[in-house]
Amino acid sequence: MTLLFQILLLIFYLYLAFATVYLLVFAFSGLFSIPHSKVQVKKKRKMAVLIPGYKEDNVILEVARQALKQEYGKEYYDVIIIADGFQKTTIQKLRELDVIVFEVELEFSTKSRALNAALNRLDDRYDVGVILDADNLMAPDFLDKINEAFCKKYIAVQGHRIAKNVDTAFAILDAVSEEMNNHIFRKGHRILGLSSALIGSAMAFDYNYLKVTMQEVEVVGGFDKELEIRLLSKNKKVEYVPDAYVFDEKVPNAKVFTKQRRRWLGAQIHYFGKSFIPSLKMLFRQGNIDYFNKALQFILPPRIMLITASFLMAIVSLIFNLYPGFYLWFSVFVLGLLVFFLSIPGYFYNLRTLWALSRLPLGIVMIFLSLFRMRGKKEYLHTKHTYNAFQIKHPLRKPPKRKSEAKN
């Protein structure tokens, strides 16, 4: 075995080992409760609930109806539907509801362009801008929880997005992945004093900050990552509220699962290249750990690819006695499994999840194959949603009370 090959194997091992230990640290910290200081809510902020949608005729009416059922008080928030490519009959039915409807005709449809189109038409009466996806359902107390977080002087808040459907194997896998992200990149990070990761929806911002910053955002995908690095580069902390629930439709099959992951991987690669050098400079010049930590997140491989690669390398090293050795490769694999064990909520330990795991090899193969189709992808990869997901009940469809969340 040549020296160059050994060096490459060592670099690959160190990369997988670093990613695994990084995830393990935050998976462990996520087992504890986020320390919340008590705050007296003296003000109900006026909120603009922004719901952009591209050809989402199947789900948007139900989403709009549900959005009007907040306990927050209708006089304190407006629901704004940003309708891109909707049918005329859908627009007409939306206008019969107590919502604001903005029809937009975009030459090139993206979420950031749709949001900017709405923000440019709205006046400045609002204090908070809430961003949802066109399939999202807010828990009845969601806006109350968001308002409470803003009483603590945060300018960016991420809610707890959770699956509303677990009706297919890949919906379950997607739901498990989302909850692992919530545990590691949101709850685990906040417990150690770092910012929560944003997720693209179920998030809220100081309205003036959102309106000004979004004017500078022109991206095909990953606009939430753009907002995030802008916040962190200015030492602004992103809060996470684990009991502020928004229910999100999970993918129905392997094709959509792979398409979604390819979009996310493309955004990660782009933002790692954009943020690593600036974040490294700010780390040494200003001690900005949050920004540098975010840049490191962008180079982490998908967790399932991480444990798959480490397992395969352990087997190959055992057979061919490859450097740096079976036990080191296998230890990374075991620690990777521990990340999964610590991060997956208890209600997913059941036969349905075991059934879903039987489809995982197909997902792994398709994700690996999708890596070869990422070059030059500039179009926005839209995920179509269905009305059927509203009929499926998730184990946490009725959110637990705050005390229950605090015990987890």
Tens of pLDDT along 14-55? 999 999 999 999 999 999 998 877 788 889 999 999 999 999
pLDDT at residue number 341? 97
Distance, in Å, from the CA atom of 363 to the CA atom of 259, rounded to the nearest integer, reads: 11
Mean pLDDT estimate for the chain = 89
Per cent of the chain over pLDDT 90 is 70
pLDDT band at 371 (very low <50, low <70, confident <90, very high): low
pTM: 0.89
Question: Is pLDDT at 377 greater than 50 in this prediction?
Answer: no
Q: Which domains does the chain have, with CATH numbers?
A: 7-30+269-373 (no CATH), 47-254 (3.90.550.10)
Q: pLDDT per residue over 254-286, tens digit each? A: 777 777 777 778 788 889 999 999 999 999 999
Question: Is pLDDT at 372 greater than 70 in this prediction?
Answer: no
Place of tokens 């996310």: 264
Can you tell me the mean pLDDT for 172-187?
A: 96
Can you tell me the mean pLDDT for 60-80?
A: 96
pLDDT band at 390 (very low <50, low <70, confident <90, very high): low
